[in-house]
Amino acid sequence: MVKFFSARSIMVMVFLTLSMLLLPLFLPPLPPPPLLLLFVPVVIMAVLMLLAFSPTQVPNVATSAV
């Protein structure tokens, strides 16, 4: 059988999982981010959709359904 993960990578994943589960119990809650920072994912999504639906710059591109 192929070994996908080494022992070191498994230990790193276990440590990250435990830290994500346990640290919120001990750390105080953070204040909300500034309003403009909340729009960053919206802007990224808008740019990605603009790029996805914009026409290509290569002329005469042949496409076919498989």
pLDDT for res 31: 93
Three-state secondary structure string covering the chain? CCCCCCHHHHHHHHHHHHHHHHHHHHCCCCCCCCHHHHCHHHHHHHHHHHHHHCCCCCCCCCCCCC
- Name the more confident of 1 and 44: 44
pLDDT for res 1: 45
Give residue-wise pLDDT tens across range 8-66.
999 999 999 999 999 999 999 889 999 999 999 999 999 999 999 988 776 666 666 66
- Name the more confident of 6 and 2: 6
